[in-house]
Amino acid sequence: MKEEKYPIKVDDEIYGPIPLERIINDVKNGNLTREATFWDGEDWISVTLFLEEEIPEQTWNEDNWVDNKEEIKYENGAPYPTTSAWEDIVNKGRWAVIFGDHLIIEGGRFNLKALESVMEGEPRHGGIPIKKIINVTFKEIDKGVEVIASSFHRMYEVYSLKCCLSKQDSDELKRELEEVNVRILTD
């Protein structure tokens, strides 16, 4: 497996690329300032991102389009007005939702694992038109059932949206998807 390396910027000096493990260790040990940034291919991002298990949410309402974030919650806390919504049991605030003709997986905490998948080009959240779903995989794990919905992006790129649901919730989602003839895989 290829070791991840990133250019590091401290003040106006750029170093590297430096292996990810070394960056993390150097920041933890105080050998690299927390003000340093790394290049992710598009922007300079704080190295402290690598240290946090859970990345704090960014300001979601900087233009004040709603006074209270709770005002946009619906039944059982779902992010959309639908009864077909199931909350992730591992990543609180993340939901699998059937809204109209889309399967939507979004929300939750942003952590290092999510960052890694985003940096690999995988979306962290989004919606897939049900008719464009390639398949949905239901895989039982210790914590519940991992749900992986896959679709095409552009012509030949496949992407997947993931969440972890309880056994009961995954069964409900599976039934709804089977009713509209989505290909279901079990592992």
What number is the average pLDDT over the span 50-65? 50
Residues 30 and 92 placed together within one structural domain of the fold: no
Residues 89 and 166 placed together within one structural domain of the fold: yes
* Residue in the structure block whose two tokens are 């298990």: 53
1, amino acid identity: M
- Whether 172 is covered by a domain: the verdict is yes
Tell me, what CATH number does 44's domain have? Answer: 3.30.1490
What number is the average pLDDT over the span 42-51? 72
Residues 101 and 38 placed together within one structural domain of the fold: no
Is residue 73 within 8 A of residue 55, CB to CB? The reply is no
Does residue 80 surpass a pLDDT of 50? yes
Q: How confident is the model at residue 137 (pLDDT cuts 50, 70, 90)?
A: very high
Residues 177 and 85 placed together within one structural domain of the fold: yes
For residues 172 and 158, what is the distance between their CA atoms, to the nearest angstrom? 25
For residues 148 and 184, what is the distance between their CA atoms, to the nearest angstrom? 10
Q: How confident is the model at residue 166 (pLDDT cuts 50, 70, 90)?
A: very high
Residues 166 and 101 placed together within one structural domain of the fold: yes
Is the model more confident about 70 or about 104? 104
Tell me, what CATH number does 91's domain have? Answer: 2.30.29.30
Least confident range from 39-43, 95-99, 146-150: namely: 39-43
Residues 48 and 86 placed together within one structural domain of the fold: no
Q: Select from 39, 151, 51, 153 the least CA-distant residue to 105.
A: 151
- Whether 75 is covered by a domain: the verdict is no
Residues 19 and 105 placed together within one structural domain of the fold: no
- Whether 70 is covered by a domain: the verdict is no
- Measured between alpha carbons, how far is residue 128 from residues 6, 16, 134, 154, 179 in Å? 32, 38, 10, 13, 17
The whole domain housing 32 covers 5-52
Does residue 20 surpass a pLDDT of 50? yes
Residues 39 and 110 placed together within one structural domain of the fold: no
- Whether 163 is covered by a domain: the verdict is yes
Does residue 74 surpass a pLDDT of 90? no
For residues 164 and 57, what is the distance between their CA atoms, to the nearest angstrom? 20
For residues 109 and 45, what is the distance between their CA atoms, to the nearest angstrom? 18
Query: Is this model's pTM higher than 0.75 or not?
Result: no
Is residue 51 within 8 A of residue 32, CB to CB? The reply is no
- Whether 29 is covered by a domain: the verdict is yes
- Whether 46 is covered by a domain: the verdict is yes
Does residue 9 surpass a pLDDT of 60? yes
Give me 159's structure tokens. Answer: 């992407």
Residues 171 and 129 placed together within one structural domain of the fold: yes
The number of distinct structural domains making up the chain is: 2
- Whether 57 is covered by a domain: the verdict is no
- Whether 72 is covered by a domain: the verdict is no
